[in-house]
Amino acid sequence: MAHDFPISISAQLREHLRALRKQQRLTQAQLGQRIGVSQARIAEIEANPGAVSVEQMLLLLSTLGASLHLHLDTRADPPAQQVAEPASAPYAPGPAIPRKRGSW
């Protein structure tokens, strides 16, 4: 059964990351070993998920059995602090940038 957890601030993500790890009955050290980082790095990610690369976050989420989904709410106005995208260019993901393993 799938569950959705809308996240709008990093503090919410912090709570979900810890809960997902604990649900899998993993220690920080065990999770770190699975993705190739130290226990201290997992502690840093859980404490401040906004300071982690998207690549590392996606790997972490995948290891925990979760994934990242973007949802465009067309009923709501975008927040004022966001910069509007040009109307002439539809969204298209850019090319993947290869990284050397262990460069986090």
Please give the pLDDT value at position 51: 86
Please give the pLDDT value at position 59: 94
Lookup result for tokens 């972490």: 60
| pLDDT tens profile 69-99 | 877 777 766 666 555 555 544 544 545 444 4
DSSP 8-state secondary structure symbol assigned to residue 4: -
| pLDDT tens profile 57-73 | 999 999 999 988 877 77
Identify whether the C-beta of residue 41 lies closer than 8 Å to the C-beta of residue 53.
Answer: no
Please give the pLDDT value at position 81: 59
- CA dist., res. 45 & res. 59, Å (int): 12
Closest alpha carbon to 11 in 55, 67, 49, 42: 49
Q: Which of 2-6, 41-45, 88-92 has the lowest mean pLDDT?
A: 88-92
Give the pTM. Answer: 0.63
Please give the pLDDT value at position 91: 46
Q: Which of 16-25, 32-41, 51-60, 82-91 has the lowest mean pLDDT?
A: 82-91
- CA dist., res. 19 & res. 23, Å (int): 6
